[in-house]
Amino acid sequence: MLTEYIQRAMRHAHYEVMENGRFFGSIPECRGAWGEGLTLEECREELEGAFEAWIIVALRHGDPLPVVDGIDLNVKEYAEPNQVA
Report the chain's C-alpha Rg in angstroms: 17
Split into its structural domains, the chain has a count of: 1
- Whether the predicted model's global pTM rises above the 0.75 cut: yes
Is 74 a member of any domain?
A: no
Over the stretch 16-57, which tens digit does the pLDDT of each residue have? 999 999 999 999 999 999 999 999 999 999 999 999 999 999
| 26 domain-assigned | yes
Q: Which domain holds residue 57?
A: 2-61
In-domain check, residue 53: yes
Please say if the pLDDT value at position 85 is more than 80.
no
CATH number of the structural domain spanning residue 38? 3.30.160.250
Classify residue 85: in a domain, yes or no. no
29 in any annotated domain: yes
According to the 3-state scheme, what is the secondary structure of the chain? Answer: CHHHHHHHHHCCCEEEECCCCCEEEECCCCCCCEEEECCHHHHHHHHHHHHHHHHHHHHHHCCCCCCECCECCCCCCCCCCCCCC
**Is residue 68 included in any domain, yes or no?**
no
